[in-house]
Structure 1
Amino acid sequence: MSRTVLAIGAHIGDMDLTAGPTLAKLVLDGANVTIVALTAGERGHPRLPPAEYKQQKVAEGEAFATAIGADFMVLGHRDGFLPDTDEAAAELATVIRETQPDTLITHWKHSTHRDHSRTAALVDRARFLADFPITPADALGTLHDLPRHAVRTLLHTENWQDMDGFHPTHYVPIPDEAFYRWISAIRHQAFARGETQGFRHIDYYTALMTTRGCLSAYPRANAFHQPPTPETTKLAGP
């Protein structure tokens, strides 16, 4: 049976950049991968107006997903104004119930970027709501019409803005085919090339993969943090 993964970022490009090599590897391994952006990230360009940059970002996100073999969707929230509400979490829980993923990948909860930290909180809440009995009286859209779903695994990806308290619990080796598929795709995103904020994202994450590979005895690797569950905490003991 194929594995299904949802990678959920605050903006178009967040998961493409940080978890993209792992997503490319998963696709090559036969998994079904969907990249979800809660906002387009339309306010991130210093020269283009948000409406124009949004069109560019959506086109870039669609092209990246196609290039690595993933599906892609953008929810309708505003960049910089991501709400932290049950209604927003229910919208994401609806996606979870519809796609039935085994694994969720998202931002680390401690971030200097509020949209990132709110995304992590929304994913955690949506994971709960996706497996919680919901009735029409709860007024959470069409969530009650869909079968409940429990997501087994939640992983936080490594992001240069989200490093406060982040420590890896899992390393995913990135083979050459996945790496080159990722880097060929990510080069078509303007922000990743450093054209919007000047930060050399592609160089940073390429070097980070090499560093994480050194620490895990692979040529290249992505690092993730998996929060402890009550079961794993109990097994670990005091």
Structure 2
Amino acid sequence: MKTYLAIGAHIGDMDLTAGPLLATAALAGHRTAIVALTPGERGHPRMSPEDYKAQKIEEGRTFAEKIGAEFRVLDYSDGFLEATQEVSLQVADIIRELKPDVIIAHWKNSIHSDHANASIIAERARYYAGLPMDHPLPRHGVGRFVYAENWEDEEGFQPSLYVPIPDEAFERWRDAISGQAFARGETYGFRYIDYYTALMTMRGCLAGVPRACAFAVPSSSTRDVVDLL
């Protein structure tokens, strides 16, 4: 059994981009987890950050339960996430605890500063988790680190890893993501579910399967198709 850990800037980021992979892995008997560095509480034009924060946390928890993932959210501020040593060490503690074989993170270039900083945080956390330190948990080296495909993080993103998404995992993901208001288009009107469903279909065409999620791998120029099942 492997452990897959997705680290996102806000609740919903990894649900959309890595959620199908996590659902696939969970169905195959692997352990999966989502960590959101902020709730994403400033993402609703008509709700107060306090009210939307409570709603987002409940939506994120329900999503994770439906796809078979563990869920954690840190209490940093949406829109003001900084790539500090403090938050990187906090995430490193989670990595030491969960011992993931695979980490999924944001691509480093984004129109959203929280996403760009979350990418830096995840990479630093991976590094810190592997260092010998005076720490109650043993160090842990992560075998594979990949970047998810997010429409806000497209600059320079070059996918090289394609993961087929079987029908059962896709349906589980679609049912789960439909429980999030922003994904349904109820905040700013963007049709997230349609977009990522179409994206999986397009990536599936390139991978020779009905649906796939694409990921960028550091220092990779080849196209690999990995079937988690």
TM-score tier (shorter): over 0.9
> Do structure 1's residue 203 and structure 2's residue 194 form an aligned pair?
yes
RMSD: 1.1
Alignment partners' CA distance in 2, 1:23 and 1:153:
15
The answer to whether the aligner puts 1:212 opposite 2:203 as a matched pair is yes
User: 1:30 maps to what in 2?
Assistant: 29
* Structure-2-length-normalised TM-score: 0.95
Answering whether residue 137 of structure 2 is matched by residue 146 of structure 1, we say yes
Aligned position for 2:49? 50
Measure the CA separation in 2 of the matches of 1:212 and 1:84. 31
d(CA) in 2 for partners of 1:87, 1:16: 25
Aligned partner letter, 2:31: N
Match of 2:149 in 1: 158
Q: How does 1:61-80 map to 2 (within 5 A)?
A: 61-80=60-79
Once the two structures are aligned, what percentage of the paired residues are identical?
A: 58
Q: Which runs of 4+ in 1 moved over 6 A?
A: none
Partner SS, residue 42 of structure 2:
coil
Measure how far apart 1:76 and its partner are.
Answer: 1.2
Q: Distance in 1 between matches of 2:194 and 2:86?
A: 38
| Structure 1 runs not aligned, ≥5 long | 136-143, 233-238
Q: How many residues align?
A: 221
Once the two structures are superposed, the pairs formed by residues 213-232 of structure 1 within 5 Å of their partners are 213-228=204-219
Q: Whose Rg is larger?
A: 1
Q: Given residue 43 of structure 2, which amino acid in structure 1 is its aligned partner?
A: G
Q: Note the 1:76-91 alignment, pairs <5 A.
A: 76-91=75-90
User: SS at 1:134's partner residue?
Assistant: coil
- What is the aligned partner in structure 1 of residue 92 from structure 2? 93
Task: Using structure 1 for the length normalisation, give the TM-score.
Answer: 0.91
Letter in 2 for 1:180: E
How many Å apart are 1:134 and its aligned residue?
2.3
Task: Kindly provide the CA deviation profile for residues 164-196 of structure 1, in whole angstroms up to 9, marking residues without a partner as x.
Answer: 000111000010000000001100100001111
Q: Take 2:48 and 2:37, find their aligned partners in 1: how far apart are those partners? A: 19
Cα offset for 1:84?
1.2
